[in-house]
Structure 1
Amino acid sequence: SPVTGATGYKVYRDGTLAATVGGTSATVTGLAADTAYQFQVAAANTAGESAKSAAVTARTGKATDPGPGPAVPKHALTGYWQNFDNGATVQKLRDVQAQYDIIAVSFADSTATPGQIVFNLDPAVGYASVADFKADIAAKKAAGKSVIISVGGEKGNVTINSDASATAFANSAYALMQEYGFNGVDIDLEHGINSTYLVKALRQLSAKAGPSMVLTMAPQTIDMQSTGTEYFKTALAVKDILTVVNMQYYNSGSMLGCDGKVYSQGSVDFLTALACIQLKGGLDPSQVGLGVPASTRGAGSGYVSPQIVKNALDCLTRGTGCGTFKPDRTWPGLRGAMTWSTNWDATAGNAWSNAVGPHVHALP
């Protein structure tokens, strides 16, 4: 609290005068990263200054602390970026098409410690150094894009089924955010999840990373058939910190729509009737996205043309372009669409992002 009779305050850093201010707040610059400093304050007036306050220790952030990331736009395009070469066009992050608002780096790797993740930059991508990769993340974020680390895939399956593994996940994921500048995580676990402990892990991570953390999920169709599945329970339990669920409408058998009818891959109805389950099951429209392959080679099955994706987006947000399934209402706030992958998109001449990206960004 202000000291009566004081005309200003002197701020000392490690015993040395660092700033003199007239008010009750001060900004001290020129500090090194990841360094502890001691601060003391003395009240001053024309007669002199008071004894210094008790010392307060503060540590500056690491040089790569991500800080708040850019805000995700109202309608967003998500793309997975491949940290490996599987025959698709090899990209550096700087090459990722400008239409993508959220770039999910695929994938983190698991370790022998349950719940713990690490990231290993694949030499096949062609970076001269890890520093170059980090610089590309920073540049994408400066351009307003979110760059997040995806957890899952074949090699990165992580088991979070205890308090210890939940904490290990949160600590290691936050460490990757600090080291690389990722501003969130994507949950792409395909071997079953435990909602109780995954929710604990995500809550702990959110508490560390702050409110700007981007949290996405990419469940399979079977995972989102009802609110009783572990994935759907997880999504609802973290609804206050969840950015978007981009369900994978591919490599799937036939599924039930929200009208109880059976729909199969390849149609606009498959996209709209299954999204309807999430929209009516408690997720906010801004938390629902349509995940599809970028090319016929991007998935074993389920590729649909960009026109079908655009029709499904219009059906859900505007009530136009529907197939036989016509929802009884519209959800103009629908978040957008996702694709696997930015690399397969590039292989196909960017046909997917060139068509779907502008359409997503022009949604109501």
Structure 2
Amino acid sequence: MDPTKRRSPYTLLVAAFATALLTAGGLVAASQTADAAAPARAEAAPAADLPSHALVGYVHASFANGSGYIPLADVPDSWDVIDLAFAEPTSPTSGQIDFSLCPTSECPNVESADAFKAAVKAKQAEGKKVLVSIGGANGKVQLTTTAARDAFVASVSKIIDTYGLDGVDIDFENDSLSLDPGDNDFRAPTTPAIVNLISALKTLKSTYGSGFTLTMAPETFFVQLGHQFYGAGASGTQDPRSGAYLPVIYALRDDLTLLTVQDYNSGPIMGLDNQYHSMGGADFPIAMTDMLLTGFPVAGDTSRVFPALRPDQVAIGLPASVNAGGGYIDSSAVTSTLDCLTKGTSCGSYTPHGTWPDLRGLMAWSVNWDVFGDNTFADTFDAYFG
């Protein structure tokens, strides 16, 4: 695998979109928009002491690639939430999650474990949150048994305690989440891997209390695609991963600090206007974020509406540079996206269903790629939000 694409093998994912969008009856279009059923807002959840507008970024902590290794102490001050990428399982179904710093053979400038722990404390003293991100493109995690669930809780707790972290980021990709046949209601999931993940995250939240920071960074395939397709569908011919994050987000909506959907490495997605939106400009993140802040019927069923998240729970996920992944948009398009969603201006061809000045901010893959690209992404955020 090209190391610059470690975050997400998007060529495979785009192919998966093509599979998901085809059913036995051909291309299926949802006939209802979210306007048909206005969902209730999520209940208030602790904001985990984040600034009103936050910049979230992944640091390549356990591996090296073409962007270079950055010691945690050297992460620029712009980044408010730092996700350590990645903690990975010992095997897909073990539930045992391990995290270690990049080996010196790959990262000659890697700091010692003690220096890393000291950097965590220093960042926290500056008001930053430092999380361990679990999964990534290579870290397949399937908690198919209660034993795996318990191992997940124990091993993740050990990582948090060892490094003094603020919480976890769930970045399950590829085959980590998939819906079993007949599991067709996101409000009451029955698939063991999903039920056990929900239980594990609730246990971690209750263990560490209200200050525990919980974020998730799913791909659009697992969230917004659920507006059109959910699981294998009645025909059993759809990709069972379609919309598979929705029950996890829904069950944890009161505990969730941030949802940072990856608006990149994606195939076309149908928005609330029943039109397909593709990467490459402001239209895509505007339409995808509008879905999260407005809510949407799942698989076009207006009796099963995924409820809107609060704007302070949402940050827009984008590549930091052209090197970081498919779907890069330049600084002017990032600014237009923010203008549209927070002010109702510069919206282009897509009109969102509201304006949300309390939108939390932006997420980037990654800090390393942004530093490699002269900090353009962070500078854009800083210039916009001051």
- TM-score normalized by structure 1? 0.77
Amino acid corresponding to residue 176 of structure 2 in structure 1:
G
Distance change (3 Å), C-alpha of 1:76 and 1:128: closer
State the distance in 2 between where 1:274 and 1:70 align.
Answer: 25
Instruction: Give the 5 Å matches for 1:84-95.
Output: 84-95=63-74
State the distance in 1 between where 2:250 and 2:118 align.
Answer: 35
State the distance in 2 between where 1:136 and 1:339 align.
Answer: 21
Computing the radius of gyration from Cα coordinates, the structure with the larger value is 1
What residue number does 1:130 align with? 113
- How far did 1:358 drift? 3.7
Of 110, 114, 117, 2:94 maps to 114
Q: Which runs of 5+ in 2 are unaligned?
A: 1-45, 178-192, 231-242, 296-306
1:331 aligns with 2:356: yes
State the distance in 2 between where 1:89 and 1:120 align.
Answer: 17
Match of 1:316, SS?
helix
Q: What do the CA deviations read for 1:31-57 (whole angstroms, capped 9, x no partner)?
A: xxxxxxxxxxxxxxxxxxxxxxxxxxx
State the distance in 2 between where 1:318 and 1:139 align.
Answer: 35
Distance change (3 Å), C-alpha of 1:159 and 1:357: farther
What residue number does 1:7 align with? none
State the distance in 1 between where 2:49 and 2:333 align.
Answer: 28
Instruction: Give the 5 Å matches for 1:2-17.
Output: none
State the distance in 1 between where 2:153 and 2:351 align.
Answer: 41
What residue number does 1:77 align with? 55
- How far did 1:355 drift? 1.0
State the distance in 2 between where 1:217 and 1:277 align.
Answer: 16
State the distance in 2 between where 1:323 and 1:136 align.
Answer: 43
- Residues 141 and 176 of structure 2 are in contact (CA less than 8 Å); yes or no, is this contact kept in structure 1? no
- How far did 1:195 drift? 2.6
1:165 aligns with 2:148: yes
- How far did 1:157 drift? 2.2
- Residues 151 and 157 of structure 1 are in contact (CA less than 8 Å); yes or no, is this contact kept in structure 2? no
What residue number does 2:270 align with? 256
- Residues 217 and 244 of structure 1 are in contact (CA less than 8 Å); yes or no, is this contact kept in structure 2? yes
State the distance in 1 between where 2:166 and 2:81 align.
Answer: 10
Amino acid corresponding to residue 213 of structure 2 in structure 1:
V
- How far did 1:69 drift? 11
Residue identity (%): 40
Match of 2:345, SS?
coil
Match of 2:139, SS?
coil
What residue number does 1:51 align with? none
Amino acid corresponding to residue 321 of structure 2 in structure 1:
S
State the distance in 2 between where 1:323 and 1:261 align.
Answer: 14
- Residues 109 and 156 of structure 1 are in contact (CA less than 8 Å); yes or no, is this contact kept in structure 2? yes
1:149 aligns with 2:132: yes
State the distance in 2 between where 1:352 and 1:78 align.
Answer: 11
- Residues 70 and 145 of structure 1 are in contact (CA less than 8 Å); yes or no, is this contact kept in structure 2? no
Instruction: Give the 5 Å matches for 1:208-287.
Output: 208-225=207-224, 226=226, 229-281=243-295, 282=307, 283-287=309-313
1:342 aligns with 2:367: yes
- Residues 167 and 204 of structure 1 are in contact (CA less than 8 Å); yes or no, is this contact kept in structure 2? no
Match of 1:290, SS?
strand
Amino acid corresponding to residue 265 of structure 2 in structure 1:
N
Match of 1:331, SS?
coil
- Residues 110 and 155 of structure 1 are in contact (CA less than 8 Å); yes or no, is this contact kept in structure 2? no
State the distance in 1 between where 2:367 and 2:276 align.
Answer: 31
1:192 aligns with 2:218: no
1:288 aligns with 2:317: no
Greater relative contact order structure (CA < 8 Å, 6+ sep)? 2
State the distance in 1 between where 2:248 and 2:294 align.
Answer: 16
- How far did 1:100 drift? 0.7
- Residues 109 and 120 of structure 1 are in contact (CA less than 8 Å); yes or no, is this contact kept in structure 2? no
What residue number does 1:100 align with? 79
- TM-score normalized by structure 2? 0.73
State the distance in 1 between where 2:90 and 2:47 align.
Answer: 27
State the distance in 2 between where 1:69 and 1:319 align.
Answer: 25
What residue number does 2:189 align with? none
State the distance in 2 between where 1:192 and 1:331 align.
Answer: 32
Amino acid corresponding to residue 280 of structure 1 in structure 2:
T
Amino acid corresponding to residue 100 of structure 1 in structure 2:
W
- Residues 137 and 180 of structure 1 are in contact (CA less than 8 Å); yes or no, is this contact kept in structure 2? yes
- How far did 1:148 drift? 0.2
- Residues 150 and 185 of structure 1 are in contact (CA less than 8 Å); yes or no, is this contact kept in structure 2? yes
State the distance in 2 between where 1:251 and 1:286 align.
Answer: 24
Greater percentage in strand: 1
- Residues 306 and 352 of structure 1 are in contact (CA less than 8 Å); yes or no, is this contact kept in structure 2? yes
- Residues 116 and 158 of structure 1 are in contact (CA less than 8 Å); yes or no, is this contact kept in structure 2? no
- How far did 1:73 drift? 1.5
Distance change (3 Å), C-alpha of 1:122 and 1:263: same
State the distance in 2 between where 1:277 and 1:172 align.
Answer: 34
